[in-house]
Structure 1
Amino acid sequence: MTIITILGVTVACLLIARLVRQWGFAGIVRAVAAIPAERMAQGVGFVVLAYLCMAASDLVGLQCLGRRMPVRRVALAAFCSVAIGHNVGLGGLSAGAIRFRFYGAWGLSVIEAGFLVLFAGLTFLLGLVSVAGFAALTELAPMRGHDLALAGLALPAAYLALSIFGKRSVTIWRKTIFVPPLHLALLQIAIGIASVVAIVGALQSLLPRGVAWGSIATAYVAADLTATLSTVPGGWGVLESIVVWLLPGVDPIGALVAFRVVYYVLPLALASVLLTSFEVAQRRPRARRVNFQLSPVQAPVPEPRTALPDSR
């Protein structure tokens, strides 16, 4: 694992150095500064929507477990795990550890927390392949990976078939996990698609005008999958290089750097603060609870006096 991490960091450094040499540091700064403020704000709005969709995925996963939890807790756990997992790399392990830290403190078992990790990853994967397939269907101009994107639609189709004809529940270590019925499976796919569409919308908001939505969607899906398989922390350099390669004739470096900041760096900073605050709160000694009686306290009734025996 250490060797893989070292190789990933090395590849990221080489790719970033290549991009800096190609555009120059000053040129990258000018490209970012040239993005209008309203488009930057629009991109931030799409990023917020994407993270809300990821929290919704955890809520659906909890339904499959037959568990209920306050929305604010689910949103906190989902945001911190996704934001940190995106940047650290090996998202299944890093995001999974953070999810278990939160959900374990709130009463979920290792199996249940692990299921939520797998469920969230599957939700995003279903969204990726679905968006890529729809982009291939709607894109009029031929694009790279067209047939592969169309083939990706087989995954959500197979998942829906499993939800209809498969087993209704699975028991793992005495924990019953419900396989999503059709309505929850459709909701899961819809959430995955919404999250990916929001991410693509953020990138499109930052890119120069005139780039087709289908091309941006295909480039992002290919870049995200490549970055995940490469195990490069945060996909640094990998995501940018793939998007540059798949969008020829476009100058995307300013948009990619801005996208890196609003989708990766800023959420990472906020998630780090929230996670630190959570850990401090967990280690704080609990105050002693004092039970106050709301009804007035009645005075004790004196015991009746017994008559003294007659001394005569």
Structure 2
Amino acid sequence: MSKQKRRINLIFSLLSLLLFICAVVAISQQLKKYSYWELVNSIKATASIHLLLVLGLTTVSYLVLTVYDILACYQISQRLPYLKIILADFLGHAISNSVGFAVLTGSAVRYRLYYNWGLSVVEIAQIIAFSNLSFWLGLFAIGGIGFILEPLTIPKLLHLPFTSAHPLGWIFLAIVVCYILGSFRLTGL
């Protein structure tokens, strides 16, 4: 291994350790307001079927999120084994959803794994950009439909030129449509 690659690995190992410490601190801060027995009793009071359902649906949602990275790897013609892609994306989302700062934390985890599996920095950046863009387009699509069907009232203290989220719904959907039309134009379809 070259000297530069060892330095990069050391930097990312230290960054990973720092992120882990931040996660532990963040979780411990959130749990400070509860005693150990309050947490245990709360879990015991929850029906087993509900706990299993929550665990199952959480797992399914994380697995669905891995499709973004699978599609991104396909887009850049990078043929990694699916289990590696799923592992990188699953860990990235698990940490970013726990710690926050998704672009920093989740991307750092994915960078570390993809880099060790031989992907270039540019390829990793393309995967992360594609995944984040796809995620946000999905949010815009769902948010746009929601704001059109059930527009929220905008608080007056924001001093916006509109009183409901209805125009935002149309803006969000326009962004999604523009992206789709732009994609068709770029691919020649």
> TM class, shorter-chain normalised?
0.5 to 0.7
Change (3 A) 1:136 1:36: farther
TM-score using structure 1 length: 0.42
- 1:147 maps to 165
Q: Cα offset for 1:68?
A: 1.0
Structure 1 CA distance, aligned partners of 2:130 and 2:153? 30
Is 1:105 aligned with 2:123? no
- Per-residue deviation, residues 133-156 of structure 1 (Å, max 9, x unmatched): 2333444xx644552651322222
- 1:163 maps to 183
Whose relative contact order is higher, 1 or 2, with alpha carbons under 8 Å and at least 6 apart?
Answer: 1
Q: Which has the higher helix share?
A: 2
Change (3 A) 1:152 1:35: farther
Structure 2 unaligned residues grouped into runs of 5+:
1-21, 155-163
Q: Does the 8 Å CA contact 1:95/1:117 hold for their aligned counterparts?
A: no
Of 76, 86, 89, which aligns to 2:100? 89
Deviates more, 1:60-69 or 1:39-48: 39-48
Instruction: Tell me the matched-pair count.
Output: 152
Structure 2 CA distance, aligned partners of 1:100 and 1:115? 11
Q: Cα offset for 1:107?
A: 1.7
Identity in percent: 27
Structure 2 CA distance, aligned partners of 1:62 and 1:71? 10
Q: Cα offset for 1:111?
A: 0.5
2:118 is matched by which residue type in structure 1? G
Of 62, 69, 72, which aligns to 1:61? 72
Q: Cα offset for 1:51?
A: 0.9
* Mapping for residues 197-276 of structure 1, pairs under 5 Å: none
2:182 is matched by which residue type in structure 1? L
Of 45, 48, 63, which aligns to 1:37? 48
2:165 is matched by which residue type in structure 1? D
TM-score using structure 2 length: 0.65
* Mapping for residues 4-83 of structure 1, pairs under 5 Å: 34-83=45-94
Structure 1 unaligned residues grouped into runs of 5+:
1-5, 169-180, 183-312
Structure 2 CA distance, aligned partners of 1:50 and 1:101? 23
Q: Indicate the structure (1 or 2) with the bigger Cα radius of gyration.
A: 1
* Mapping for residues 170-181 of structure 1, pairs under 5 Å: none
